Amino acid sequence: MENLSLIVNSVSKNTDVWPMFFGQLEKHTLEGFFEKKYVFVDECDEPVPEGYEVVLYEKDKMYQEQFTECIKSVPEEYCIYISEDYILYDGIDVERIEEYISILEANRDLSFVRFVKGGIIEMSHLHYQHHPHLYEIYNFLPYFYTNQAAVWKTRDLEKIHQHGPNLHIGNTDYANSFELQATKTCEKLGIRGTFCYYDEPKRGIYHHDSSTFPHICTALVKGKWNLSEYKEELGPLLVEYGIDVNKRGIF
C-alpha cells in the first residue's frame, strides 16, 4: 500500500524469535501490502528476509533516543509499529486497515488506530464519529500510550518519542518506563487516538484479541515463552519452527 510502512522494533538478544516472527508475517500478509519494511535493532548478525531495511541504533542509549533516531529513516506517511514477539497466527484484515488509514487521512487531529482493546481500565468509550467499531481513547488516562500494534501517522509517532521522557521501554520500575510516562507527553501534545473492537474475547487481564491484526501479544514475557496465555496459538508454532522451549523457559 502506498505510503504505508512496517516498523519492527527488536533487539539482538531476541533474534532467536526472528524465524517465527518473519515466517508468520510473510505467511499472513499480502505481498506488497507495505511499501517499505524496517527493522530497528542494535546489532544484526542474523539474516533478515529480503525486503526489510535494517536501521541500527546504539545499544547504550535509552529507548527514547534509539527510536527517535531510527524513525527519522522512515519517510512513509503511515506506519504499523510492532515488536518482534508480536507473532501473527492468522491473516490481517487489509480492508479494515485501509479504511483506518482513510480515516486518519481525513482527520487531522487523529494520530493512530490501535488494533487491540486494552483491558486494564474497564470503562465506557464513545464511538469515534459514529463508527460502529472505532472508539475514542482518552489521553489523560493511564495507558493512553502503549506499544501495542497500531497504524500511526508516522510523524506523530516520531513527535511523541522526540518530546517524550528519556527512558527505556521496559524498566523494572514500570512507573518510570517510557511506555507509561509518554502518556503525559501525548496529553501535552494533544495527541488523539482510537482503538478498534469487534467483540473479540479478552485475553488475560491486559487486553482483548484482535481480529484486525491477529497476533500473539506478546510471545515473550520476562524473556520466557508465553504459553500461559497463548498455548493454543504458540504451542504449534514452537514445534513448526523447531524451537527448544527449554532454552528460554515457559511463562
pLDDT of residue 103: 97
CB 67 within 8 A of CB 161: yes
pLDDT of 90 > 70? The answer is: yes
DSSP sequence for 35-49: SEEEEEES---S---
Gap between the Cα atoms of 166 and 177, Å rounded: 9
For 142-156, what is each residue's pLDDT tens digit? 889 999 999 999 999
Question: Domain locations in the chain?
Answer: 4-218
Gap between the Cα atoms of 207 and 120, Å rounded: 7
Residue 190: CB atoms within 10 A of its CB come to 9
CATH class entry, domain 4-218 = alpha beta
pLDDT of 121 > 70? The answer is: no
Gap between the Cα atoms of 3 and 79, Å rounded: 8
For 11-48, what is each residue's pLDDT tens digit? 999 999 999 999 999 999 999 999 999 999 999 988 89
Q: What pTM was computed for the model? A: 0.95
pLDDT of residue 170: 67
CB 65 within 8 A of CB 59: no
